[in-house]
Every structure is written in C-alpha cells, then in structure tokens.
Amino acid sequence: MTDQPFHSGFACFVGRPNAGKSTLTNALVGQKIAIASSKPQTTRHAVRGIVTCDSGQLVLIDTPGLHRPRTLLGERLNEMVRETWSEVDVVGVCLPCDQRIGPGDRYIVSQIAELSNRPLLVALATKTDLVSKERVLSHLVDISALADELGIQWAEVVPCSALNNDQVDTVRDVLLRLLPEGPMYYPDGEVTDEPEETLIAELIREAALEGVRDELPHSIAVVIDEILPRPDRPEDKPLLDVFASIVVERDSQKGIIIGHKGSRLREIGTAARLQINRLLGTPVHLSLHVKVLREWQRDTKYLNRLGF
C-alpha cells in the first residue's frame, strides 16, 4: 500500500478553434472519445474522458469553444462552456505554437480570469511538432507575457504535442498534481461516461464534417435511430445494424451531404463505419439517411429533441 495521497478532480481544455483541445483529450485518455476537426465549434457536448493512475483520477471535460453566438444553439453551447469553467479544478489553456497569441486567446483567458470561483490555470503550448525549438522558446516567452498582461499566474507551463505523444505524460502528471485530494469517481479502466450512442453519433458527424463548406458544419446534427444485433449471426461473428439520421437545415444542404448519386453519403458511411468498428470492437453495418429540420439551430423544440 502506498502512503501517497490520492488526487482526483475535473479539468477542461480551452482555446481557439483547432488549438488541439480534442486531440490532447484523446491522447491523455488513450482512446478516441472526442471528435477532432479543423472546423470551428466542432465539439457540441461536454464529453468526459477519464484518466486513472496510481496517484489519482483526472476527469477531462472536452467542451465546445467559446464563440460569438449567432443562433440559439450557439447561446446554449456558450452557457455550457461557462458553467464548466466555474465547476472544474483546473483549466488547461491550449496555445498552439504554430500560431501567434491573438485577441481570441486574450478574450478566453480574460473571461476565465473574471470568474469569482477561478480554477487554476495551466498554459499548454500545443503542436510543438509543427515548429522549430527556437519558435517554441519564443512562444513560451509570449505565454509568460500574456499572464503579465492579464494579471494572472500560470500554475504551470507545458510545451507538448498530442500528435507525437510528446510530453503528454507531463501534462497528465501536472494536471493530477494540481487536483485536490479526493476519491475515485469512476471505476478503474473506464475511459468515458458518454453513452455509446452519443459516441457513435459523434463519429458519424466527424465523418460528415470532412470536406464540407464553411457554412454547413454548424447545420449538421446526427441522431441514432436504432442499434440492433443482426439476429441470424453466430455468436462468434456478431454484426450490429446501426441506423442513423444526418440532420441538416435546408434541402440544398441535404444535396451536398448526399452528393452525386449518393457518392458523398457513401464516403461518410465508410469513414464512420471504420471508426465505429474500432470503438465497439464489433463489425457494424451502418445505414444512413439525411433529413431536413428547417432552421433547427434556432428552434427550441428541435434543439430539445436533438439533446441540446
């Protein structure tokens, strides 16, 4: 038995779009639980990833990015982000090394600094794999200057690359060390408390986001209609039938998702199926169809039905 105290608690990553938040969450958890995309506001749910080791348990909440809302959905996502900030013990601010610190970064950090119940702040210089060592050092100087400018203190500053798994263990150890002493919230071995249906829907949405035009990503939602084991399969060769709907706001968007003679929808299905197979460890047959719910992002009834 070890005499070391057990630390447990909650942390989240913040940063501008494409700062590496979801990729770092997945690297720490050791499994894909958060979808990653270059499109802004890809993350829509507060997905919990669980990291357990001998010294403690870290619950990572992958939240949407704070943005200027143009719809009721956007307002609800921003509310979720602010609620999460005030409830976690530590916030990791992702500041990618391949981009200069800008107004968006200052805005996010200043908003957290204004919280009455402010969490500890850790600066994460992400994407070190994309730049030279000199650029990383220069970026670390800028990160220090940002704290001085906003009148905050970084509890730690860690350069890292989730893609190359560089210093990911250090990020984990730093976050764990900053957590209060506490109990194990989840059983050892559990990596998320998200229902499988939610994870499957997110993997389909990730595949649908690839290669679409800028105005379309916000209009895409995915609903899992049914998941059924194929009845005529032997026990040692199971197959799951997954029926899902890709929801868009206009008929023109439906045409884009389906593509010429269904080519785009087939590509989405193939990409998503591979990821779902990996997630479940069971072969799946994925049946997708596209439906239009007009202006669903602005409609309370549709938002509630879609789980927002």
Superfamily (CATH H level) for 7-178: P-loop containing nucleotide triphosphate hydrolases (3.40.50.300)
pLDDT in tens, 201-225: 988 988 988 867 665 667 888 999 9
- Residue 293: which residues within 8 A CB-CB, separation 6 or more? 247, 248, 249, 299, 302
CA dihedral angle for residue 247, residue 248, residue 250, residue 255, rounded to 10 degrees: -90
21 in a labelled binding site: yes
32 in a labelled binding site: no
For the chain, the domains span 7-178, 196-306
Pick the closest to residue 149 from 105, 179, 100, 118 (CA basis): 105
Q: Give the pLDDT score at 1.
A: 44
Question: Cβ distance 63 to 16 under 8 Å?
Answer: no
Q: Which fold has domain 196-306?
A: GMP Synthetase; Chain A, domain 3 (3.30.300)
Q: What's the pLDDT band for 128 if we cut at 50, 70, 90?
A: very high
pLDDT in tens, 20-42: 888 899 999 998 877 665 555 55
300 in a labelled binding site: no
Q: Give the pLDDT score at 2.
A: 52
- pTM equals 0.74
65 in a labelled binding site: yes
pLDDT in tens, 249-303: 999 999 999 999 999 999 999 999 999 998 888 999 999 999 999 988 888 888 8
62 in a labelled binding site: yes
145 in a labelled binding site: no
64 in a labelled binding site: yes
pLDDT higher than threshold 50 for residue 170: yes
198 in a labelled binding site: no
63 in a labelled binding site: yes
Question: Cβ distance 20 to 96 under 8 Å?
Answer: yes
Average the pLDDT over 169-187 and give the result. 95
66 in a labelled binding site: yes
129 in a labelled binding site: yes
**SS3 label, residue 103:** helix
- DSSP label at residue 252: H
127 in a labelled binding site: yes
19 in a labelled binding site: yes
Residues making up the chain, counted from first to last: 308
Q: How far apart are CA 308 and CA 134, in angstroms?
A: 44
Pairwise pLDDT comparison (202 vs 64), residue with the higher score: 202
5 in a labelled binding site: no
